[in-house]
Structure 1
Protein backbone atom coordinates (compact mmCIF):
# COMPACT_ATOMS: atom_id res chain seq x y z
CA UNK A 1 0.00 0.00 0.00
CA UNK A 2 1.37 3.41 -0.94
CA UNK A 3 2.24 5.81 1.88
CA UNK A 4 2.02 8.84 -0.41
CA UNK A 5 -0.40 11.41 1.07
CA UNK A 6 -3.61 11.92 -0.85
CA UNK A 7 -4.15 15.19 -2.68
CA UNK A 8 -6.62 16.29 -0.01
CA UNK A 9 -4.18 15.53 2.81
CA UNK A 10 -1.36 17.29 0.99
CA UNK A 11 -3.49 20.41 0.58
CA UNK A 12 -4.48 20.30 4.26
CA UNK A 13 -0.91 19.85 5.49
CA UNK A 14 0.35 22.67 3.29
CA UNK A 15 -2.46 25.02 4.31
CA UNK A 16 -1.83 24.25 8.00
CA UNK A 17 1.83 25.14 7.71
CA UNK A 18 1.25 28.33 5.73
CA UNK A 19 -1.62 29.52 7.92
CA UNK A 20 0.52 28.97 11.01
CA UNK A 21 3.50 30.78 9.49
CA UNK A 22 1.85 33.77 7.83
CA UNK A 23 -1.75 33.91 9.02
CA UNK A 24 -4.94 33.06 7.21
CA UNK A 25 -5.61 36.44 5.64
CA UNK A 26 -2.07 36.71 4.29
CA UNK A 27 -2.12 33.24 2.70
CA UNK A 28 -3.78 33.06 -0.70
CA UNK A 29 -5.11 29.94 -2.37
CA UNK A 30 -2.50 30.45 -5.07
CA UNK A 31 0.25 30.29 -2.45
CA UNK A 32 -1.22 27.07 -1.08
CA UNK A 33 -1.65 25.39 -4.44
CA UNK A 34 1.88 26.30 -5.52
CA UNK A 35 3.42 24.95 -2.32
CA UNK A 36 1.28 21.80 -2.43
CA UNK A 37 1.97 21.16 -6.10
CA UNK A 38 -1.71 21.10 -7.07
CA UNK A 39 -3.99 23.32 -9.10
CA UNK A 40 -6.88 25.48 -7.92
CA UNK A 41 -9.39 22.98 -9.26
CA UNK A 42 -8.11 20.43 -6.74
CA UNK A 43 -8.81 22.81 -3.85
CA UNK A 44 -12.28 23.56 -5.18
CA UNK A 45 -12.99 19.85 -5.67
CA UNK A 46 -11.96 18.78 -2.18
CA UNK A 47 -13.03 21.84 -0.18
CA UNK A 48 -15.11 24.17 -2.34
CA UNK A 49 -13.65 27.44 -1.03
CA UNK A 50 -10.89 28.93 1.08
CA UNK A 51 -13.32 29.32 3.99
CA UNK A 52 -14.10 25.61 3.89
CA UNK A 53 -10.39 24.79 3.71
CA UNK A 54 -9.74 26.94 6.78
CA UNK A 55 -12.50 25.13 8.66
CA UNK A 56 -11.09 21.74 7.67
CA UNK A 57 -7.64 22.74 8.90
CA UNK A 58 -8.93 23.87 12.28
CA UNK A 59 -11.37 21.00 12.67
CA UNK A 60 -8.61 18.44 12.15
CA UNK A 61 -6.89 19.77 15.28
CA UNK A 62 -9.78 21.07 17.35
CA UNK A 63 -11.94 17.94 17.34
CA UNK A 64 -9.39 15.68 19.10
CA UNK A 65 -8.34 18.51 21.42
CA UNK A 66 -11.89 19.29 22.51
CA UNK A 67 -12.74 15.61 22.85
CA UNK A 68 -9.78 15.18 25.21
CA UNK A 69 -10.76 18.25 27.23
CA UNK A 70 -14.35 17.09 27.67
CA UNK A 71 -13.25 13.56 28.55
CA UNK A 72 -10.92 14.85 31.26
CA UNK A 73 -13.55 17.14 32.71
CA UNK A 74 -16.08 14.31 32.82
CA UNK A 75 -13.54 12.07 34.59
CA UNK A 76 -12.71 14.57 37.32
CA UNK A 77 -16.39 15.46 37.80
CA UNK A 78 -17.27 11.80 38.26
CA UNK A 79 -14.44 11.40 40.77
CA UNK A 80 -15.69 14.44 42.71
CA UNK A 81 -19.16 12.86 43.27
CA UNK A 82 -21.02 16.13 42.85
CA UNK A 83 -18.64 18.26 44.92
CA UNK A 84 -17.13 21.43 43.41
CA UNK A 85 -13.81 20.81 41.72
CA UNK A 86 -10.47 22.26 42.73
CA UNK A 87 -9.52 25.16 40.45
CA UNK A 88 -6.10 23.74 39.63
CA UNK A 89 -7.67 20.42 38.68
CA UNK A 90 -9.99 22.21 36.23
CA UNK A 91 -7.13 24.23 34.76
CA UNK A 92 -5.00 21.12 34.27
CA UNK A 93 -7.86 19.29 32.59
CA UNK A 94 -8.14 22.14 30.10
CA UNK A 95 -4.45 22.88 29.56
CA UNK A 96 -2.78 19.47 29.57
CA UNK A 97 -4.44 18.11 26.39
CA UNK A 98 -2.98 21.08 24.51
CA UNK A 99 0.44 20.41 26.04
CA UNK A 100 0.22 16.77 25.01
CA UNK A 101 -0.45 17.83 21.43
CA UNK A 102 2.35 20.41 21.64
CA UNK A 103 4.74 17.55 22.47
CA UNK A 104 4.10 15.96 19.09
CA UNK A 105 6.77 17.95 17.29
CA UNK A 106 5.81 19.82 14.14
CA UNK A 107 2.11 18.98 14.44
CA UNK A 108 1.96 20.37 17.96
CA UNK A 109 3.76 23.56 16.94
CA UNK A 110 1.29 24.05 14.09
CA UNK A 111 -1.64 23.59 16.46
CA UNK A 112 -0.47 26.18 18.98
CA UNK A 113 0.19 28.72 16.25
CA UNK A 114 -3.19 28.07 14.64
CA UNK A 115 -4.95 28.60 17.96
CA UNK A 116 -3.16 31.90 18.45
CA UNK A 117 -4.05 32.90 14.90
CA UNK A 118 -7.71 32.17 15.60
CA UNK A 119 -7.69 34.73 18.42
CA UNK A 120 -6.05 37.46 16.36
CA UNK A 121 -7.33 36.79 12.85
CA UNK A 122 -9.51 39.62 11.56
CA UNK A 123 -11.67 37.46 9.30
CA UNK A 124 -15.15 37.15 10.79
CA UNK A 125 -15.71 33.60 9.57
CA UNK A 126 -12.63 32.42 11.50
CA UNK A 127 -13.98 33.91 14.71
CA UNK A 128 -17.45 32.43 14.11
CA UNK A 129 -16.10 28.99 13.29
CA UNK A 130 -13.74 29.00 16.26
CA UNK A 131 -16.58 30.02 18.58
CA UNK A 132 -18.90 27.34 17.17
CA UNK A 133 -16.32 24.56 17.50
CA UNK A 134 -15.37 25.50 21.05
CA UNK A 135 -18.74 26.57 22.45
CA UNK A 136 -19.70 23.29 24.15
CA UNK A 137 -16.28 22.85 25.75
CA UNK A 138 -16.03 26.42 26.98
CA UNK A 139 -19.54 26.35 28.46
CA UNK A 140 -18.78 23.14 30.36
CA UNK A 141 -15.56 24.56 31.77
CA UNK A 142 -17.20 27.87 32.58
CA UNK A 143 -19.89 26.08 34.59
CA UNK A 144 -17.29 23.97 36.41
CA UNK A 145 -15.25 27.07 37.24
CA UNK A 146 -18.34 28.92 38.49
CA UNK A 147 -19.07 26.06 40.90
CA UNK A 148 -15.44 26.03 42.02
CA UNK A 149 -15.35 29.80 42.66
CA UNK A 150 -18.92 30.76 43.65
CA UNK A 151 -17.77 34.09 45.11
CA UNK A 152 -17.13 35.38 41.59
CA UNK A 153 -19.97 36.68 39.45
CA UNK A 154 -20.70 35.00 36.09
CA UNK A 155 -19.22 38.04 34.34
CA UNK A 156 -16.01 37.76 36.35
CA UNK A 157 -15.72 34.07 35.52
CA UNK A 158 -16.09 34.83 31.82
CA UNK A 159 -13.50 37.61 31.94
CA UNK A 160 -10.99 35.43 33.73
CA UNK A 161 -11.48 32.50 31.39
CA UNK A 162 -10.99 34.92 28.50
CA UNK A 163 -7.67 36.02 30.00
CA UNK A 164 -6.74 32.38 30.59
CA UNK A 165 -7.33 31.50 26.94
CA UNK A 166 -5.25 34.41 25.69
CA UNK A 167 -2.40 33.58 28.06
CA UNK A 168 -2.54 29.89 27.23
CA UNK A 169 -2.42 30.28 23.47
CA UNK A 170 0.40 32.81 23.53
CA UNK A 171 2.43 30.87 26.10
CA UNK A 172 3.16 28.05 23.66
CA UNK A 173 3.91 30.12 20.55
CA UNK A 174 7.65 30.60 21.01
CA UNK A 175 10.21 31.82 23.50
CA UNK A 176 10.94 35.09 21.70
CA UNK A 177 9.45 37.45 24.31
CA UNK A 178 10.85 35.35 27.15
CA UNK A 179 14.34 35.66 25.66
CA UNK A 180 13.98 39.45 25.67
CA UNK A 181 13.35 39.31 29.41
CA UNK A 182 15.80 36.52 30.26
CA UNK A 183 17.94 34.84 27.61
CA UNK A 184 18.69 31.81 29.79
CA UNK A 185 15.01 31.23 30.60
CA UNK A 186 14.08 31.53 26.93
CA UNK A 187 16.83 29.10 25.96
CA UNK A 188 15.72 26.62 28.62
CA UNK A 189 12.12 26.81 27.42
CA UNK A 190 13.19 26.23 23.81
CA UNK A 191 15.40 23.26 24.71
CA UNK A 192 13.13 21.41 27.13
CA UNK A 193 9.75 21.77 25.46
CA UNK A 194 6.32 22.60 26.87
CA UNK A 195 6.90 21.07 30.32
CA UNK A 196 8.87 24.12 31.48
CA UNK A 197 6.10 26.41 30.27
CA UNK A 198 3.46 24.28 31.96
CA UNK A 199 5.26 24.40 35.32
CA UNK A 200 5.20 28.20 35.23
CA UNK A 201 1.80 28.57 33.59
CA UNK A 202 -0.43 26.52 35.91
CA UNK A 203 0.24 28.47 39.14
CA UNK A 204 -0.05 31.75 37.22
CA UNK A 205 -3.46 30.83 35.82
CA UNK A 206 -4.74 29.49 39.14
CA UNK A 207 -3.66 32.65 40.96
CA UNK A 208 -5.42 34.84 38.41
CA UNK A 209 -8.60 32.79 38.44
CA UNK A 210 -8.85 32.68 42.24
CA UNK A 211 -7.97 36.31 42.99
CA UNK A 212 -10.66 38.20 44.96
CA UNK A 213 -13.51 39.51 42.84
CA UNK A 214 -14.48 43.15 42.50
CA UNK A 215 -17.11 42.93 45.22
CA UNK A 216 -14.61 41.52 47.72
CA UNK A 217 -11.99 44.07 46.73
CA UNK A 218 -14.31 47.02 47.51
CA UNK A 219 -15.24 45.88 51.00
Structure 2
Protein backbone atom coordinates (compact mmCIF):
# COMPACT_ATOMS: atom_id res chain seq x y z
CA UNK A 1 0.00 0.00 0.00
CA UNK A 2 1.29 3.44 -0.90
CA UNK A 3 2.35 5.72 1.94
CA UNK A 4 -0.51 7.85 3.31
CA UNK A 5 -3.04 6.13 1.05
CA UNK A 6 -6.20 5.14 2.95
CA UNK A 7 -7.00 1.45 3.16
CA UNK A 8 -9.86 0.14 1.03
CA UNK A 9 -12.53 0.26 3.73
CA UNK A 10 -11.65 3.83 4.72
CA UNK A 11 -11.62 4.95 1.09
CA UNK A 12 -15.08 3.47 0.59
CA UNK A 13 -16.35 5.18 3.75
CA UNK A 14 -14.90 8.56 2.75
CA UNK A 15 -16.39 8.47 -0.75
CA UNK A 16 -19.75 7.18 0.49
CA UNK A 17 -19.90 9.93 3.12
CA UNK A 18 -19.41 12.64 0.50
CA UNK A 19 -21.92 11.13 -1.92
CA UNK A 20 -24.57 10.61 0.76
CA UNK A 21 -24.29 14.31 1.64
CA UNK A 22 -24.41 15.43 -1.99
CA UNK A 23 -27.20 13.16 -3.21
CA UNK A 24 -28.91 11.62 -0.19
CA UNK A 25 -29.14 7.93 0.67
CA UNK A 26 -31.72 6.86 -1.92
CA UNK A 27 -30.08 8.66 -4.86
CA UNK A 28 -26.58 7.38 -4.09
CA UNK A 29 -25.95 4.06 -5.81
CA UNK A 30 -23.28 1.50 -5.01
CA UNK A 31 -22.06 1.95 -8.56
CA UNK A 32 -21.39 5.64 -7.91
CA UNK A 33 -19.50 4.74 -4.74
CA UNK A 34 -17.39 1.99 -6.30
CA UNK A 35 -16.48 4.13 -9.31
CA UNK A 36 -15.30 7.09 -7.25
CA UNK A 37 -13.59 4.96 -4.61
CA UNK A 38 -11.93 2.98 -7.43
CA UNK A 39 -12.96 -0.39 -6.00
CA UNK A 40 -15.22 -3.17 -7.22
CA UNK A 41 -18.57 -4.18 -5.78
CA UNK A 42 -17.03 -7.22 -4.16
CA UNK A 43 -14.91 -4.93 -1.97
CA UNK A 44 -18.00 -3.12 -0.68
CA UNK A 45 -19.76 -6.42 -0.01
CA UNK A 46 -16.68 -7.82 1.72
CA UNK A 47 -16.21 -4.87 4.07
CA UNK A 48 -19.82 -3.82 4.66
CA UNK A 49 -22.23 -6.38 3.21
CA UNK A 50 -24.81 -3.97 1.78
CA UNK A 51 -25.55 -0.34 1.00
CA UNK A 52 -27.65 -0.12 4.17
CA UNK A 53 -24.79 -1.42 6.30
CA UNK A 54 -22.36 0.93 4.56
CA UNK A 55 -24.58 3.91 5.34
CA UNK A 56 -24.79 2.90 8.97
CA UNK A 57 -20.99 2.49 9.13
CA UNK A 58 -20.45 5.94 7.58
CA UNK A 59 -22.66 7.49 10.22
CA UNK A 60 -21.66 5.51 13.29
CA UNK A 61 -17.90 6.01 12.89
CA UNK A 62 -18.43 9.75 13.44
CA UNK A 63 -21.41 10.06 15.77
CA UNK A 64 -19.84 8.22 18.72
CA UNK A 65 -16.96 10.69 19.18
CA UNK A 66 -19.34 13.61 18.60
CA UNK A 67 -21.77 12.50 21.31
CA UNK A 68 -18.83 11.88 23.66
CA UNK A 69 -17.64 15.46 23.00
CA UNK A 70 -21.10 16.86 23.80
CA UNK A 71 -21.28 14.92 27.06
CA UNK A 72 -17.74 16.01 27.98
CA UNK A 73 -18.82 19.64 27.48
CA UNK A 74 -21.87 19.03 29.61
CA UNK A 75 -19.78 17.32 32.32
CA UNK A 76 -17.36 20.25 32.43
CA UNK A 77 -20.20 22.77 32.68
CA UNK A 78 -21.96 20.86 35.44
CA UNK A 79 -18.75 20.34 37.41
CA UNK A 80 -18.22 24.09 37.57
CA UNK A 81 -20.78 24.15 40.37
CA UNK A 82 -22.73 27.02 38.81
CA UNK A 83 -26.40 26.78 37.85
CA UNK A 84 -26.47 26.30 34.10
CA UNK A 85 -28.65 28.49 31.91
CA UNK A 86 -30.42 27.35 28.76
CA UNK A 87 -27.81 29.26 26.77
CA UNK A 88 -24.96 27.40 28.48
CA UNK A 89 -26.60 24.09 27.59
CA UNK A 90 -27.13 25.11 23.97
CA UNK A 91 -23.50 26.15 23.73
CA UNK A 92 -22.38 22.81 25.19
CA UNK A 93 -23.99 21.19 22.15
CA UNK A 94 -23.05 23.81 19.56
CA UNK A 95 -19.33 23.94 20.47
CA UNK A 96 -18.72 20.29 19.48
CA UNK A 97 -20.67 20.91 16.24
CA UNK A 98 -18.42 23.85 15.44
CA UNK A 99 -15.24 21.96 16.41
CA UNK A 100 -16.29 18.99 14.28
CA UNK A 101 -16.99 21.23 11.30
CA UNK A 102 -13.39 22.48 11.45
CA UNK A 103 -11.74 19.06 11.81
CA UNK A 104 -11.30 17.20 8.50
CA UNK A 105 -9.94 14.18 10.37
CA UNK A 106 -13.38 13.70 11.92
CA UNK A 107 -15.33 14.45 8.75
CA UNK A 108 -15.38 18.23 9.03
CA UNK A 109 -18.28 20.30 7.74
CA UNK A 110 -19.19 17.45 5.41
CA UNK A 111 -20.10 15.12 8.24
CA UNK A 112 -21.86 17.85 10.23
CA UNK A 113 -24.14 18.23 7.21
CA UNK A 114 -24.64 14.47 6.87
CA UNK A 115 -25.34 14.06 10.57
CA UNK A 116 -27.82 16.92 10.57
CA UNK A 117 -29.56 15.75 7.41
CA UNK A 118 -29.82 12.17 8.65
CA UNK A 119 -31.16 13.05 12.10
CA UNK A 120 -33.67 15.56 10.74
CA UNK A 121 -34.93 12.97 8.27
CA UNK A 122 -35.03 10.35 11.08
CA UNK A 123 -33.55 7.72 8.81
CA UNK A 124 -35.12 4.31 9.35
CA UNK A 125 -31.76 2.50 9.35
CA UNK A 126 -30.39 4.50 12.25
CA UNK A 127 -33.46 5.12 14.37
CA UNK A 128 -33.19 1.97 16.46
CA UNK A 129 -29.39 1.99 16.74
CA UNK A 130 -29.35 5.61 17.90
CA UNK A 131 -32.17 5.18 20.40
CA UNK A 132 -30.29 2.28 22.00
CA UNK A 133 -26.77 3.71 22.00
CA UNK A 134 -27.39 7.39 22.65
CA UNK A 135 -30.24 7.37 25.14
CA UNK A 136 -27.77 8.72 27.72
CA UNK A 137 -27.35 11.85 25.58
CA UNK A 138 -31.11 12.48 25.63
CA UNK A 139 -31.45 11.70 29.32
CA UNK A 140 -28.57 13.96 30.35
CA UNK A 141 -29.72 16.95 28.30
CA UNK A 142 -33.34 16.49 29.35
CA UNK A 143 -32.40 16.54 33.03
CA UNK A 144 -30.12 19.55 32.48
CA UNK A 145 -32.81 21.56 30.67
CA UNK A 146 -35.35 20.70 33.37
CA UNK A 147 -32.98 22.18 35.96
CA UNK A 148 -32.25 25.23 33.79
CA UNK A 149 -35.94 25.90 33.06
CA UNK A 150 -37.78 24.86 36.24
CA UNK A 151 -40.76 27.06 35.38
CA UNK A 152 -41.84 24.58 32.71
CA UNK A 153 -43.45 21.15 33.07
CA UNK A 154 -41.60 18.09 31.80
CA UNK A 155 -43.88 17.88 28.75
CA UNK A 156 -43.16 21.50 27.85
CA UNK A 157 -39.40 20.86 28.19
CA UNK A 158 -39.70 17.85 25.89
CA UNK A 159 -41.47 19.90 23.22
CA UNK A 160 -39.00 22.75 23.47
CA UNK A 161 -36.03 20.38 23.20
CA UNK A 162 -37.67 18.74 20.19
CA UNK A 163 -38.02 22.07 18.42
CA UNK A 164 -34.61 23.36 19.53
CA UNK A 165 -32.62 20.34 18.37
CA UNK A 166 -34.59 20.14 15.14
CA UNK A 167 -33.71 23.77 14.41
CA UNK A 168 -30.05 23.23 15.29
CA UNK A 169 -29.65 20.08 13.19
CA UNK A 170 -31.46 21.74 10.29
CA UNK A 171 -29.22 24.78 10.55
CA UNK A 172 -26.03 22.73 10.47
CA UNK A 173 -27.36 20.70 7.53
CA UNK A 174 -26.62 23.77 5.41
CA UNK A 175 -30.06 24.09 3.86
CA UNK A 176 -30.76 27.65 2.75
CA UNK A 177 -34.55 27.65 2.92
CA UNK A 178 -34.72 31.23 1.66
CA UNK A 179 -33.57 30.05 -1.76
CA UNK A 180 -36.90 28.27 -2.14
CA UNK A 181 -38.60 31.66 -2.23
CA UNK A 182 -35.93 33.54 -4.15
CA UNK A 183 -32.22 34.03 -4.34
CA UNK A 184 -30.79 34.79 -0.89
CA UNK A 185 -28.18 37.55 -0.98
CA UNK A 186 -27.50 37.70 2.76
CA UNK A 187 -27.68 34.23 4.31
CA UNK A 188 -24.71 31.90 3.96
CA UNK A 189 -26.17 28.64 5.28
CA UNK A 190 -22.90 26.75 4.76
CA UNK A 191 -20.71 28.89 7.06
CA UNK A 192 -20.63 27.24 10.52
CA UNK A 193 -19.38 30.40 12.28
CA UNK A 194 -22.26 32.46 10.91
CA UNK A 195 -24.72 29.71 11.73
CA UNK A 196 -23.61 29.69 15.38
CA UNK A 197 -23.69 33.49 15.65
CA UNK A 198 -27.34 33.71 14.63
CA UNK A 199 -28.52 30.30 15.83
CA UNK A 200 -27.77 30.49 19.55
CA UNK A 201 -29.88 33.58 20.47
CA UNK A 202 -32.76 32.28 18.34
CA UNK A 203 -32.79 28.84 19.98
CA UNK A 204 -32.33 30.19 23.50
CA UNK A 205 -35.24 32.62 23.01
CA UNK A 206 -37.46 29.75 21.91
CA UNK A 207 -36.45 27.54 24.83
CA UNK A 208 -37.09 30.31 27.36
CA UNK A 209 -40.21 31.98 25.92
CA UNK A 210 -43.28 32.07 28.21
CA UNK A 211 -46.06 29.64 27.36
Same topology, TM > 0.5: yes
Q: Which residue of 1 aligns with 2:68?
A: 67
- Paired with 2:20 and 2:83, the residues of 1 have a C-alpha distance of 40
Q: Does 1:92 align with 2:98?
A: no
Give unmatched runs, 5+ long, in structure 1.
214-219
The correspondence of residues 182-201 of structure 1 with structure 2, limited to 5 A, is: 183-187=184-188, 193-201=191-199
The correspondence of residues 1-219 of structure 1 with structure 2, limited to 5 A, is: 2-80=3-81, 84-104=83-103, 107-121=107-121, 123-174=123-174, 176-178=176-178, 183-187=184-188, 193-213=191-211
Q: CA deviation at 1:122?
A: 6.7
- Paired with 1:128 and 1:57, the residues of 2 have a C-alpha distance of 16
Q: TM-score, normalised by structure 2?
A: 0.87
Q: TM-score, normalised by structure 1?
A: 0.84
Q: 1:132 to 1:20 in 2, by over 3 A?
A: farther
Q: 1:182 to 1:148 in 2, by over 3 A?
A: farther
Return 167-176 or 115-124, whichever deviates more: 115-124
Aligned length, in residue pairs:
208
Q: CA deviation at 1:58?
A: 0.8
Q: Which has the higher helix share?
A: 1
Q: CA deviation at 1:207?
A: 0.7
Indicate the RMSD between aligned Cα atoms, in angstroms. 2.4
Q: 1:15 to 1:182 in 2, by over 3 A?
A: closer
Q: Classify the secondary structure of the residue corresponding to 2:79.
A: helix
Counterpart contact for 2:17–2:58, Cα < 8 Å: yes
- Paired with 1:181 and 1:171, the residues of 2 have a C-alpha distance of 18
Q: Classify the secondary structure of the residue corresponding to 1:176.
A: coil
